[in-house]
Amino acid sequence: MSTYEEVLSRIVIRQIRSEDQAESRNIILSGLGEHFDRVDPTLNPDLDDIVAVYLARGHQFVVATVEELIVGTGGLRIENVQDGRIVRLSVARELRGHGIGQAIVTYLLDLARELGLHRIHVETNRDWYPAIGLYGHCGFKQLYADDESVHMALDLT
């Protein structure tokens, strides 16, 4: 079994719990810090209480774990009765390239289908090529790009 298959066979994706918040926040901010020169945590207030911001408002937020260690995160914001948006997708640096991001996206898309959503949107920075590639690999199509971002969507119907 390859390293890729070993990691994927040990992944458990589940809803975030209160005790997961600090570790999840750290993974997300670390990922942002790798891409941007500087990250101001105060510009990311949703990460201060993920359970309240996401779950308590009817959205979804999951963590990917390997042997109870959180290695990835992802959220699904419900925008209206038909549309959702994947947010806060992040994988621990040392485990990128093993299919964890794709597994989280697939899990969130399955949740979206269960919720009866018809279309899922994503937005990422224009120069965040691994993220753009991941979403493209998962079937998302680019809608448009502006000076800063690439906007993509996937029809679930």
Give the pLDDT band (50/70/90) at residue 45: very high
At 82, is the secondary structure helix, strand, or coil? coil
CA-based nearest residue to 11, from 74, 54, 55, 56: 74
Entry pTM: 0.93
Residue partners of 36: CB distance under 8 A and separation at least 6 = none
Helix (H) or strand (E) holding 151, with range, is: strand 149-155
- Higher per-residue confidence, 39 vs 142: 142
Sign of the Cα torsion 19, 53, 73, 104 reads positive
CA distance 148 to 145: 8
- Side-chain half-sphere exposure of 121, counting CA atoms within 13 A: 14
Report residue 51: phi and psi, to 5°: -60, -45
CA distance 53 to 67: 26
DSSP one-letter code for 143: E
Q: Is the pLDDT of residue 73 over 70?
A: yes
With tokens 């898309």, the residue in question is 109
For 3-123, CATH number out of 3.40.630.30, 3.40.50.1370, 1.10.8.60, 3.40.50.720 equals 3.40.630.30
Strand 11-15 and strand 141-145: pairing?
unpaired
Write out pLDDT tens, residues 100-153.
999 999 999 999 999 999 999 999 999 999 999 999 999 999 999 999 999 999
